A = this chain, B = another copy of it.
């Protein structure tokens, strides 16, 4: 007897059939491996509801404080899966239709440059910082009257890699995984190259909103219920993920007045660092935010765009932030 799930269609919620439900309690894993036993086996075309923990699982809760972070052990994304797709073979393509992403009313964003040196600006932000979000129906509420429109998506969507052994969930790979593409919202379709028999699909790392780049290393991290349809596409042949999406493409989900800082360097990563560092400085000076809050805001709502990669030897990356996020915008 499938559990009823609901999908948001043009602002109304309609009930849809669910073929299978997969709870994180029976299907939790925190690494990729071709040897993880499937938690569920389905035929091609099956819709599955995935009950997903937040990225860090029980390690970060609403009671966690910034001062707890140095002692927190991060073991990998808490993923739900794997799902075996009957008949999938290496060389096939798995079509993943993301039908719904429902979020919790609590979320968090953390800066953990200090102990790990991760994120785009680790030298500028040596201290751990944890921000708890109050997630409403349409927006997540930030400091200084700033509101972030919700645009939920799974940060991790992937199939098991061909290489034997266990693999960290952090880096995205050609089989997908922790891609953090903010446009994989409900209504999107992502195509993954199958690398092992039965595909072994997993999903998780729910983000209520994120900027392109996810610069401070986390989005608005939140538990999610994700509904996705898994379809085998034997006739397709791809080397890396592809996707279809309707966005949102703009920092606030639409075209609108936006401010941007630029990085102009001979290395794209250096250019990205410069652009974000300058946007942090701008938000701190002009928008009443601490530098940590500004970095968090960049991670969840600023978009990194490559403006040009051909005017040798200098490339341009800009960091965009929409005026409408601010109370006077």
Contact = CB atoms under 8 A, between A and B. Distances in A.
Interface in A246-269: 246-250, 253-264, 267-269
Interface residues of A, number: 69
Given A215-B310, A250-B255, A263 B240 contact: yes
A171 B272 contact: no
Contacts of A241: 262, 264
B306 A170 contact: no
A264 to B, nearest CB: 5
A248 B311 CA distance: 21
A308 B214 CA distance: 5
Interface stretch (A63-71, A91-99, A174-182, A226-234): A174-182
Interface stretch (A22-30, A131-139, A313-321): A313-321
Given A179-B316, A181-B316, A311-B180, A244 B257 contact: yes
A293 B250 CA distance: 28
A119 interface: yes
A155 to B, nearest CB: 8
Nearest to A306: B304
Given A240-B261, A247-B256, 5 more contacts: A170-B311, A171-B311, A172-B308, A240-B262, A249-B258
20 contacts: A171-B314, A172-B264, A172-B308, A174-B264, A179-B308, A181-B262, A183-B318, A212-B305, A213-B307, A214-B309, A240-B264, A241-B264, A242-B260, A246-B258, A247-B256, A248-B255, A249-B258, A253-B255, A272-B309, A304-B306
Q: Which 6 A-B pairs have the closest CB atoms?
A: A268-B268, A180-B308, A304-B306, A171-B314, A247-B255, A181-B307
